[in-house]
Structure 1
Amino acid sequence: MAKHQHMEVEDDLRTRERIILLILAAVQFTTIVDFMIVMPLAPQLMRTLAISPAQFGMIVSSYTFAAGAAGLVASSIVDRFARRATFMTLNAGFLLGTLACAIAPNYHALIAARVFTGAFGGILGGMTLAIIGDVFPEERRGRATGSLMTGFALASVLGVPFGLYLGTNYGWHVPFVVLAVFGIPALMLTPFALPPLDTHVGKDHGHPLRSLSETFTHTNHLKAFALIVTLMIGSFTVFPFLSAYLVSNVGMTEQQLPLVYIAGGVLTLIASPIIGRLADRYGKLNVYRLVAPGSAVMMLLITHLPPVPTALAIAVFGGLMLCNVGRMIPAMAMVTSSVEPRRRGAFLSANSSVQHMASGLGAYLGGAIVAAGPDGKILHFGTVGWIAAISTLLSLWLAGRIRIVDAGVPSSLATQAVSAEEISLVAAAEATVDVGQPMLGCEVEG
C-alpha cells in the first residue's frame, strides 16, 4: 500500500511539473514573439510612423535597455517576495505593456510603451528560470530548460510568421492586440498551477544595495555572467542582420523569409527536449562542449554564404538555429545551477539584465561594422561572423569554470510531495493502530 501511495505521489508530481512547464513555455512564447515581431515589421513601422532607420533602431533598443535597467533594480529586491506572486505581477505588467504598444498612436508613445514592456518582460525571463530552478532538481533541469525552449521554437514557427501576416494585412497594431489576449489564459492559470515558492522569503537578504553588491561580486556569479556575455555577443552580432543579408546578398525574397523562421523553429522544436535529456544524462558541460564548436562553424558559414538556392539557404539557417539552441539549453541550465537557491531570484534577475545589455552591445557592435554597399548588398558581414565565432569559442573555456552549487538540493515540488506522502503514511499507520487497539483490550471467552 505504501508503494502504491508513493507511485501516486510521483505521478501527481510529474503532472504538476508538466502543467507548470506548459504555463512557463506559454509565457516564454509571448515574450519572445513580442520582442521579435518588431524587427520584421520595420518597413511598415518606418512608413506609417514616418521615422528613419535610426529611430526604428531606438524602438528595438528601448526594450532591451529598459529590460537591462529593470533587471538591475529587481536583482536587489526580488528574493524578498514569493516567486508565484512576483511572476504574476511581472506577467500582468508585461501584458499591459503589450496592449499599450497596440494602442500607441505615434512614435513617442510607442517608445514609451516599449520601455514599459521591456521593464517587465526582461525581469519575467529571469523569474521564469528562477521558477525552473525552484521546481526542478539539478538532475532534471536540463530537460526542463529544453522544454522551456519550445516557447522560442513555437515563436519562430508560428508566432513571428503569423504576427507578420497580421501586421502586413491588418496593420502593425494587430499583432500586439493578439499577443496581449493570448497571454491572459496563462496569467489566470498561474495561481492554481504554481505553488507559492516562498521558502526563501523571510531569510536575511540584507540591504538591497548589499544584495546587489553580493550578486555582482560573487566569483561564481561573475563567471556565469561572463558566459552569458559571450553567448549573446556570439548571437546578436549576427542575428539582427541575417534577414537583410539573406535578401540582399544570398538572393532570397522578402516573401520567402517566413520559411526561414519556420524551418529553424521546427528544428528547434524537435531538438530542444532531446538536447535537454542528453544534457541531464551526459552532463550539461559535456553537451555544451560538443555543440558550441558547431555553432561557431555555422556562424562563419552563414555570414560568408554566397548566392545559393533558397532550399540551401534555409538549411544553413536551420542548422544555425539547431546549434544555437543546442548550446543555450545546457548553458542556461548550468547558469541556473550556479547560484544558491536563496539567492536565485536576485541572481537570475541580474543575469537577465546582463543578457539584455550584452544583446544590445552585440547588436550595436554588428551595426557599427556592417554597411550597405551602393548596390544594396550588406558589406563586412564576414567580419561580424568571425567575432561571433571567436566569442563562441571563448565561451567553451568560461563554461568549464562555472561551479554547480545546488546539485542534490530537492525541488520545492518534491519537498511538498514528500511531506504529503509522509502525512499520508502516518495517517495510515494511525488508522491501523486504531483498528488494532480494541482487539488488544478484548477478553477471550471460554
Structure 2
Amino acid sequence: MKTEGTIPFSGYQKIVIFILAMTQFTVILDFMVMSPLGDMLIKSLSMKPSSFGIAVSAYAFSAGISGLLTAGFADRFDRKKLLLFFYSGFIVGTFLCSLANSFELLVAARIITGLFGGVISSISMAIITDLFSLQQRGRVMGFIQMGFGASQVLGIPIGLYIANKWGWESPFVMVAAVAIIIAVLIVVVLKPINKHLGLQHDRSAFKHLWHTLSKKNYRIGFAATAALSIGGFMMMPFGSVFAVNNLHVTAEELPVLFMVSGISSLIIMPLIGKLSDTVSKFKIFSIASIWTMLICVAYTNLSATSFWIVIGLNVLMMIGIMSRMVPSSALTSAIPDMEDRGAFMSINSSMQQIAGGVAAAVSGMIVVQQTKFSPIEHYDTVGYVVAVVTLISIFLMYRVNQLAKKKPATVSPKAEEPELVMSEF
C-alpha cells in the first residue's frame, strides 16, 4: 500500500507540469520585468514615478476584474481551449507593450495583458486539480511555481541586459516569443480536459458565478487567498527603492540580489512541494508564516547594510514566502467541487490580484520619499502591517485545512494518465 507522497507521475502528467510551469514562467516574467525597467520607462516615456505605479497596478486590477468576469463560464468550456484562448490574448497584450510610445498606450497595453494573463493561473490551477490527486499536488505546485523563481533568475538579469542593448521594448518581445512556443505545445500536446462539462447544472454563467460565491466554504478560501496576497504585495513595489536608497545596494548589485533570491526559490520550491505531500501542509504553512513575519520585520527596520547580509536576509525571506505559497495553493485547490473548480479558481485568482493591487496602493500611502534619491520612510510600518496580516492568514488557512480534511482523497482518473501522445485540438 502506497503512503502519502509516493504516487508517481505518469509521462503525460510530467509534460503537463512542464507546459503549465512554462505558462506560469512567461506570465510572471511579463509582470516581473516591469520593475527593473522602471527607471528606463520613466525617462523614455516622460513619466512620473506615480504614473509608473499606475502602469504596474493597471495589470493587477484588470487581471482581477477579468477573473470575476470569466468565473461564470470558466467551467463551461474545455480547459485546454480556455487556456489557449487566454494565453493567446496574453501574447498579443505583451507584444503591444513593446509598441507603446506613451504612458497612455503603455497603460492600455498593460490592461489588455492583465485581462488575459490574469486568468491563466486560475485555469492552470483547475487543470492541476482535475489531473492530479491531492497527494500529488504539493509536488506539482512546487514545480509550477518555480516560474516565480525562474522569472527572478532569468527575467531581471536578461531583461536588463537586452533592454540596455536594444531598448526597453525588447524584453516584452522576448516574453511574447517564448510564449508563442509554449502556445504551440498547448495545441499539439495537451489533451482535451472536459470531464467537468458533464457535471454542470446551472443554466447561466451569472447563476454559476453566484452559485460559487454563495458557498460559505468557498468564501473562506477566497478570504485566505486575499490575506496571503496582501501580505505578499505590500513590500514588493518598494523593494528595489528600499534596497538602493536605504540599504545602499548599488544598481550593479541589484540584479545579483534578485538572481540569488530567485535561485534560492528554485531550490526550495520542489523540496517544500515534496515535503508538503508527506507531512501536514498546514504545519509547514504555519511555521513558514511565523518565519516570514520575523524576517520581514527585521528586514524593514534595516539601514545601510553589508550587501552579503542583505542577500542572506532576502534568501531567508524567500524561503519563508515560498514555503507558504506551495502548501497554501495545494490546500486551497482541495476546497471546490469538480463542477465549480474553474469558477472557484477564477474568483480566487481575482481576489489575489485585486487584493494585491489594494496592498500596493495602501503601501504607497504609508511609504514616503522626500526626493528621488533620499531613503524611503515608514517602510518599517509596512513590515508590521505584513506581520499582522500574516497572523490573520494563519487563522484563515487553518479553516481551509479543516475543509480540505473533509474532502475525500481523489486519485487522478486513469483516462488522464497515459503516456504522452499527440492530441487533437
Matched residue, 1:397: 395
Partners of 1:138 and 1:16 in 2: CA distance: 17
The alignment yields a C-alpha RMSD, in angstroms, of: 1.7
Which residue number in structure 2 is paired with residue 300 of structure 1? Answer: 297
Q: Which amino acid aligns with 1:399?
A: M
The reply to whether residue 98 of structure 1 matches residue 97 of structure 2 is no
Q: Which residue of 2 aligns with 1:233?
A: 230
Paired residues for 1:71-86 under 5 Å: 71-86=67-82
Contact 1:337 1:407 in 2 (8 A): no
- The one-letter amino acid paired with 2:126 is A
User: C-alpha distance in 2, partners of 1:411/1:87?
Assistant: 20
Structure-2 residue corresponding to 1:409: 410
Q: Secondary structure at the match of 1:401?
A: helix
Match of 2:137 in 1: 141
Q: CA deviation at 1:301?
A: 1.4
Q: Secondary structure at the match of 2:278?
A: helix
SS of the residue aligned with 1:250? coil
2:3 corresponding residue in structure 1? none
Residue 351 of structure 1 aligns with an amino acid whose one-letter code is N
Q: 1:326 maps to what in 2?
A: 323
Q: Which residue of 1 aligns with 2:284?
A: 287
Indicate which of 365, 379, 382 corresponds to 2:380. 382
- 2:45 match: 49
What are the within-5 Å matches in structure 2 for residues 269-280 of structure 1? 269-280=266-277
Cα offset for 1:232? 1.1
SS at 1:77's partner residue? coil
Measure how far apart 1:298 and its partner are: 1.2
Whether the aligned pair in 2 keeps the contact of 1:102 and 1:173 (CA below 8 Å) is: yes
TM (normalized to structure 2)?
0.93
The residue number in structure 2 matching 1:62 is: 58
Aligned-partner residue type, residue 393 of structure 1: L
Q: Which runs of 5+ in 1 are unaligned?
A: 1-9, 419-446
What corresponds to 2:423 in structure 1?
none
- Where does the alignment leave 5 or more consecutive residues of structure 2 unmatched? 1-6, 419-425
Identical amino acids, percent of aligned pairs: 33
AA partner of residue 185 (structure 2): L
Instruction: Measure the CA separation in 2 of the matches of 1:205 and 1:272.
Output: 38
SS at the partner of 1:166? helix
8 Å Cα contact 2:22-2:147 kept in structure 1: yes
Which residue of structure 2 aligns with residue 108 of structure 1?
104
Give the CA deviation at 1:262: 0.7
Among candidates 135, 148, 154, match of residue 152 of structure 1: 148
**TM-fit CA distance, 1:305:** 1.5
2:259 to 230, 237, 262: 262
Which structure has the highest helix share of the two? Answer: 1
What's the offset of the Cα at 1:193? 2.6
User: Partner amino acid for 1:252?
Assistant: V
The equivalent of 1:253 in structure 2 is 250
Aligned to 2:309: 312
**Regions of 4+ moved over 4 Å:** none
Aligned length: 408
Cα distance in 2 between the residues matched to 1:226 and 1:81: 27
* Alpha-carbon offset, residue 292 of structure 1: 1.1
Are residue 335 (structure 1) and residue 332 (structure 2) matched?
yes
Equivalent residues of 1:138, 1:407 under 8 A apart: no
State yes or no: 1:39 paired with 2:35.
Answer: yes
Displacement, 1:406?
A: 4.5
